Amino acid sequence: MSRQYDTIIFDLGDVLFHWDASTITALPKLTLRHMMHSTLWYNFERGLLSSNEAYKLLAEEHKTTPELVRLALDQAQETLTPDPKMSDLILKLKATSPLEKPGHPKIRVLGLTNITKEHFESIQASHPHFPWHMFDRIFTSFGTGMRKPNLNIYQHVLDQTGIDPARTIFLDDRPENICSARFFGIRGEIVGRLPPERSKVIKLVTNLLVPQEVSLRAMVAHLGMPELVNLCWPPLPSNGAIDTAASDTISNPDSGVGQDEPSSKEDSSAATSSFPEGLWYYFATSPVFSTKNFPRDSDTTSLAYLTVGDEYISSGGMLPVAEAMDAIARNVNEDGILLTYFDQSRPMIDSGVCADVLRFFNRFSGIRVEDDGRLKPTVEFVVNTLANRAYIHGTRYYTPEAFLYFAAHLWSESKETSPGLWARLDKHIRPALIERLRVADPVEKNALALAMRVYACQVVGIEKELLRSDFEELLSMQEDDGGWPAGCLCFFARSGDRIGNRGLTTALVWKILKEMS
């Protein structure tokens, strides 16, 4: 990305250290909470009161004794434990040079915390193995006489360190503290209490601060694969998954439970007998969540020809291109739109499928797509789906992002070979993608959809700055083994079951990372 970060500021409590209020018995939890959000407490944190003065005044205000106030705070202090993942993050960052600055000083690690002098000294004494030595400096409320979220303490940190706010990340658990940091142009990120929330922030920070080239090389070495383009994660049957929406379970599509493997011999119905052998099935093995004799389809067939390479096609290993195109072109519905399945008993159409098929014809037919009369209804179907945003709730089989991904590739590939089609797509593809970037929907929970959206934007040349939010969300979704979640590419129309593949998502993310780098 255009902005690079070289400084990170950590809060201490609930970011680097956890504490457990349930173990405090000296005072009621509500009393302790009110006490720690009072003006007296704030003055205590700012170093304006000694411990004895603070305990006495707090006790008077909350109708208790100074001894119980001290005991309650001591009990809270005893529960403090360092977050090991955050500690590891600090060590990793200090071992890293800032992005695009190899050989320069290491990333600066700072602390900024509201804390009393007594409690800060106690934490340091109780946790000598915490990487205190890795901090370039820790700013405290008692040491500065200021506290978050007041703006003056942030200005003080900037003045004392000379750091660039635009190149600084600040981690805190309080929204008001993040808001004040962002006032100065510092990038603030909330650190949640739940492990998944914390892991997400750690992954995001790591990917923002650790050079992507280093991460790429490390991941390739871990996988033992020399080329990222060949990435498949993991290299096991479980790399594909079908997510059953009703039960939230994952089924292995290679299991073939209760199904017989489809073959051309079994597929002998009158509805499909007019099509040649050599067309492609969606399932590599036995179909699941569908009929026993699942038909061949134009989408898988088109993608196969677009993927396997000209050398293999010309070697005779596949049905001749002309025969495949002829079979697809005569398989239409009553509107003349290309059908998905080579089975007249399943007259389904899908604009995402049609976009892939047009890519196939654009590459191999030798005729401009817009000049092929057989394809005219399908061209209108795809272009109008894009122009009128007909995809916003998804197509029959694909997510909105998948359709835009296919449309972006059709746009990119047709500029020289089918300029008429390209010109029509060019009016709509960029505005459609920019509009989609602004849509508030649950796409961030679908790693594959998010990756397809970002990559489609890269294909059409949308500015990196507009992709920042999606890109960083995608980075934060990386899982502990280095891969990305399967997400959802498409659906079984009848059941709604979602289909995704970790290898596909991970490979697509790495292509995005290479482009961003």
Please write the tens of the pLDDT for every residue from 74-94: 998 888 999 998 998 888 888
pLDDT over 70 percentage in the chain = 83
Q: Work out the number of other CB atoms within 10 angstroms of the CB of residue 258.
A: 8
Which of 340, 359, 390 corresponds to the end of one domain? Answer: 390
In a domain, 291, yes or no: yes
Q: What is the mean pLDDT of the segment spanning 48-75?
A: 93
Q: Give the H or E element holding residue 198.
A: helix 195-209
pLDDT value of position 98: 52
pLDDT value of position 243: 39
The larger pLDDT score, comparing residue 503 to residue 100, is at 503
Residue 46, pLDDT above cutoff 90: yes
Residues 14 and 159 in one domain: yes
Identity (one letter) of the amino acid at 131? P
In a domain, 13, yes or no: yes
Q: What is the mean pLDDT of the segment spanning 192-218?
A: 69
Q: Give the H or E element holding residue 431.
A: helix 429-437
Please write the tens of the pLDDT for every residue from 356-377: 999 999 999 999 999 999 999 9
Residues 179 and 285 in one domain: no
> Which CA distances in Å does 133 have to 32, 75, 98, 105, 497?
32, 26, 19, 16, 51
Residue 4, pLDDT above cutoff 60: yes
Residues 197 and 94 in one domain: yes
pLDDT value of position 485: 86
Q: What is the mean pLDDT of the segment spanning 99-124?
A: 81
Residue 215, pLDDT above cutoff 80: no
Q: What phi and psi values does residue 196 have, to the nearest 5 degrees?
A: -60, -35
Residue 225, pLDDT above cutoff 90: no
Q: Residues 6 or more apart from 270 whose CB is under 8 A from it?
A: none
Identity (one letter) of the amino acid at 1? M
Residues 202 and 288 in one domain: no
> Which CA distances in Å does 226 have to 217, 220, 357, 483?
9, 6, 32, 16
CATH number of the structural domain spanning residue 14: 3.40.50.1000
pLDDT over 90 percentage in the chain = 51
Residues 201 and 278 in one domain: no
Please write the tens of the pLDDT for every residue from 150-200: 999 999 999 999 999 999 999 999 999 999 999 999 999 889 878 777 887
Residues 183 and 291 in one domain: no
Residue 504, pLDDT above cutoff 60: yes
* pLDDT band (50, 70, 90) for residue 97: low
Which of 210, 238, 272 corresponds to the end of one domain? Answer: 210
Residue 251, pLDDT above cutoff 70: no
In a domain, 397, yes or no: no
pLDDT value of position 275: 65
pLDDT value of position 306: 93
Residue 223, pLDDT above cutoff 70: no
Residue with tokens 């750091």: 163
Residue 442, pLDDT above cutoff 70: no
Q: What phi and psi values does residue 401 have, to the nearest 5 degrees?
A: -65, -35
Residues 146 and 285 in one domain: no
Residue 460, pLDDT above cutoff 80: yes
Please write the tens of the pLDDT for every residue from 309-325: 888 888 888 899 999 99
H helices within 46-94, ranges in order? 51-61, 66-78, 84-94
Residues 201 and 275 in one domain: no
Please write the tens of the pLDDT for every residue from 16-35: 998 887 888 888 888 888 89
Report the SS3 class of residue 44: helix
* pLDDT band (50, 70, 90) for residue 132: very high
pLDDT value of position 444: 52
CA distance 404 to 421: 16
Average pLDDT score over the chain: 82
pLDDT value of position 236: 35
CA distance 366 to 326: 13
Please write the tens of the pLDDT for every residue from 392-431: 988 999 999 999 999 999 999 999 999 999 999 999 999 9
Number of domains within the chain: 2
Residue 328, pLDDT above cutoff 80: yes
Residues 306 and 377 in one domain: yes
Residues 90 and 195 in one domain: yes
In a domain, 424, yes or no: no
Residues 152 and 276 in one domain: no
Residue 274, pLDDT above cutoff 60: no
In a domain, 410, yes or no: no
Q: What is the mean pLDDT of the segment spanning 127-137?
A: 93
Range of the domain at 270: 258-390
